[in-house]
Homo-oligomer: A and B are copies of this chain.
């Protein structure tokens, strides 16, 4: 079975800070309780973006076999005390899927591509990805050849782990690409090196790019003045 994956980027209305201390404390408690409850049902991780991007404060990375989990989380958050002040600045929905470029048994019977299992590295780099239509006109062999070059370069950075998920027909991008790494400059160098691959010529869009920092929801909420 394949998983649904959602990267939800939240922005807290700065006016929340003007509310009484006890309302805010209770709002934070509720949000953390929802987070904890979700983590008992399915996968969830929190990442901060304050000090990095100006358009969002934090991100929740969720994965599940049941779309009801995603709907439950959204419903719970918006009905909580903080709900009227917390908006989804952006969200990317995707699914896991076996790659056509990698042999079926490449990594054994249990295909890691179908299950999201974070390494919990310090950083997560996320972006939506759309290829040009001429890419899809190429033969599968040509595309495989180009992807192999792409993969070869990736192998030079073994400490960077790639999660590619698929969004065809369910969101505005074709893929959501998420890389885990403990080093920012390593990832920057990898992406710059990948610009020179042949496959890179077929990129239509790969922005916005989010550098996310693994951090507990507790710490994030304190840092953004919630």
Contact = CB atoms under 8 A, between A and B. Distances in A.
Q: How many copies does the complex hold?
A: 5
Most B CB within 10 A of own CB, among A2, A67, A169, A207: A169
Main secondary structure of the interface of A (DSSP, over half): mixed
Interface stretch (A28-36, A71-79, A147-155): A71-79
A54 B17 contact: no
Q: Indicate the size class of the contact surface on chain A.
A: 35 or more
A192 B166 contact: yes
Given A50-B74, A50-B78, A134-B201, A190 B209 contact: no
A78 B209 contact: no
A188 B169 contact: yes
A194 to B, nearest CB: 9
Nearest to A181: B169
Interface string A43-57: 000001011111000
Nearest to A54: B88
Contact of A51 (B70, B168, B179): B70
B93 A211 contact: yes
B71 A188 contact: no
A191 to B, nearest CB: 3
A184 interface: yes
Interface of A: 2, 4, 6, 8-9, 14-15, 17-18, 48, 50-54, 67, 70-75, 78-79, 83-85, 87-91, 93, 95, 97, 125, 133-134, 136-137, 166-172, 174, 179, 184-185, 187-192, 195-196, 198, 200-201, 203, 207-209, 211, 213, 223-225
For the complex of A and B, the 5 pairs showing the least CB-CB separation, nearest first, are A169-B191, A54-B88, A51-B74, A51-B71, A79-B225
